[in-house]
Amino acid sequence: MNSLIVEEVKKHFGGVVACNGPSLKAESGGITAIIGPNGAGKTTLINLISGVYPPDAGRILLNNQDITKFHSTKVAQAGIARTFQNVALFRGMTVLENMLLGRTIYMKSGVLSCGLFWGPARREEAAQRKKVEDVIDFLGITDIRKTPVSSLPLGLQKRVELGRALAAEPKVLLLDEPMGGMNLEEKESMARFVLDVVEHTDTAVVLIEHDMGVIMDISDHIIVMDQGAMIAEGPPEQVQKNPRVIEAYLGAPHAA
């Protein structure tokens, strides 16, 4: 079983407290969701976990290994993959080429041998391609595998980005608004793929999403943030009734 533990991480940007001590635990076999109003610090928390920023305080553990001070490349090598709120694909490259980038952490051939495509590099590329083809089949995008991502609608681009993260065979998968901008049918498809990842792999999933219907349907545990701090946590049915959560989303009731 894979596990991610975040303990009271903090991050300041000048005088702005972007993350003020939230904690979470995510394990294989479940989905941990992070919710909160815009500006609550959700993406900052994901950036801290993935090594984009170093925390000012707190601790991050992956399978009991302290990765708090790891930079993003080392975090990826340790087994954490992510998607982004705004799609971060190479638009001039095909679906297959973008997803092969998820395998770079496993590449052992040097730059020269890869560029000349000598024997060892050729065999390695074939092995990595097989892994990616399996993910392509899993996501049902075989028919667009050689299509440039720039010509794909947003829903498919987000599926490709999920595929690139899955190609890395992560221990922990961080999904930053994977359904943002999608229509209902696309959201249902993405939700199904995320649930399939949980069911068929040992990957622990951490999800940021604004669609509360999706969150309540697929998450097992919810962390609620507001103004950088964690204000509530628990199973969906408990969180949606929490007065602090209702206030954070709807605002404090006015006195009569």
Two tokens at 44? 């900052």
Shared-domain flag, residues 74 and 183: yes
Q: What is the mean pLDDT of the chain?
A: 90
Q: What is the DSSP-derived secondary structure letter of residue 210?
A: S
Q: Of 167, 184, 210, at which residue does a domain stop?
A: 167
**What does the pLDDT read at residue 256?**
37
Shared-domain flag, residues 177 and 68: yes
Q: Of 167, 190, 205, at which residue does a domain stop?
A: 167
Closest to 87 measured CA to CA, from 145, 34, 162, 146 = 162
Alpha-carbon torsion (36, 23, 28, 161), positive or negative: positive
Dihedrals phi, psi of 178, to nearest 5 degrees: -65, -15
Domain containing residue 214: CATH number: 3.40.50.300
Instruction: Considering only residues 23 and 109, tell me which one the structure prediction assigns the higher pLDDT.
Output: 23
Shared-domain flag, residues 69 and 174: yes
**What does the pLDDT read at residue 67?**
98
**What does the pLDDT read at residue 247?**
86
Looking at the structure of the chain, the number of domains it has is 2
Shared-domain flag, residues 107 and 143: yes
Question: Which of 11-25, 112-126, 127-141, 219-233 shows the lowest per-residue confidence on average (mean pLDDT)?
Answer: 112-126
Shared-domain flag, residues 64 and 174: yes
Shared-domain flag, residues 71 and 193: yes
Q: Of 167, 197, 212, at which residue does a domain stop?
A: 167
Residue 14 backbone zone (phi > 0: left; psi -120 to 50: alpha; other: beta): left
**What does the pLDDT read at residue 119?**
55
Query: Structural domain of residue 55, as residue ranges?
Result: 1-79+170-256
